[in-house]
Amino acid sequence: MGSKDDQLKLGVIGGGSWGTSLANLAGRKGHAVDLWVYELEVKKQIRSHHENRTFLPGVTLSANMNVTNNIAKAVYQKDLVLVVVPSHVMRMTTAQFGDHLSPDTILVSASKGIENDTHLTMTGVMGETLPFLSPDRTGVLSGPSFAREVSREVPTAVTVASKNQDTAELIQRALATPFFRIYTIDDVMGVELGGAVKNVIAIAAGAIDGLGLGQNTRAALITRGQTEIRRLGLRMGAQPRTFTGLAGIGDLVLTCTGDQSRNHTVGKRIGKGENLADILEDMQMVAEGVKTARSVYNLSRKLGVEMPICHTVYHVLYDNMPPREGLFTLMTRDLKYELDAV
């Protein structure tokens, strides 16, 4: 395998908008990239037109990026492998390529979610499916980053987390560009929880917009949503300062306010009275917050963590609670002191 930071062999697992955008970024930087896509049609599009017309239309992709449906080829003898698949298929996907992954490869999760049955974050799932993989060679990439804007080279800042600083810095150097700035951090749990739970809060933010409410309401929701994310994070051993950073408040603000947010879109359509099943049937890409809402609801109850906004989102999604009723319930809870004890 290569060792020079300026010419690495990369595998990217997942050909959605974010996976394609990251593969394209790495290819434009000069790395040799194999992008694994699940859909045969997407492979044909990229090979014929240098464009992922299904998930990232209008973006001409780097010639350094090879597309494949062979997952073993995509991970074999790579310096870095980025896993960018929906959270509910993380277990199945990583289990498929374990036998072909070198123990020297650094594995980076760029997926955001919490598994429904186990309540594991994505690195937790990878730890079970790839038990030979050292946490020192594992990283997490997160932060406020819409795929389409990254593909257009809009200035963006994100965070990479790893328990090993050398690993974090290698990923940082491998992917950073003049328009894609990467910071490092060692709080893997905090970065993963920030990236996962903000999607649930974004559904609530979308519902506020769908109901035609004001910016006061949205600002309050984002602030109190941040409190809930921090509570869960502290209970699970995360560092509180992480939630003031790019993977915390940065990603939360973007997902709660940006029109490109799939989770915000789901919430907005629910706020306008549409049925969740119909909304999901219309969507080509996954809105992670829908499944994560179930994980957060059950995990927070198990841990005894107070998360009223996330619980309300769960009841709206899965118990047919009307959004206005959910908002009224939140606004009429017992009055409290604002700040948590820690």
Positions annotated as catalytic residues are: 198
Residues 221, 208: contact at Cβ < 8 Å?
yes
Contact between 261 and 233 under an 8 Å Cβ cutoff? The reply is no
Does residue 67 contact residue 41 with C-beta atoms inside 8 Å? no
List the beta bridge partners of residue 82.
Answer: 12, 108
Kindly give, in sequence order, each residue whose CB lies less than 8 Å from that of residue 1, ignoring residues fewer than 6 positions away. 9, 77, 78, 79, 102, 104, 105
Bridge partners (DSSP) listed for residue 83: 13, 109
Contact 227, 195 (CB under 8 A): no
> Is 295 buried (19+), middle (13-18) or exposed (0-12) by CB count in 10 A?
buried
- Please tell me whether residue 141 adopts helix, strand or coil conformation: strand
Q: Virtual CA dihedral for 308, 313, 317, 321, nearest 10 degrees?
A: 60
Strand order in the sheet with 106-109: 65-68, 32-36, 9-13, 80-83, 106-109, 138-142, 156-161, 180-185
- What's the rounded Cα separation, in Å, for the pair 15 and 85? 8
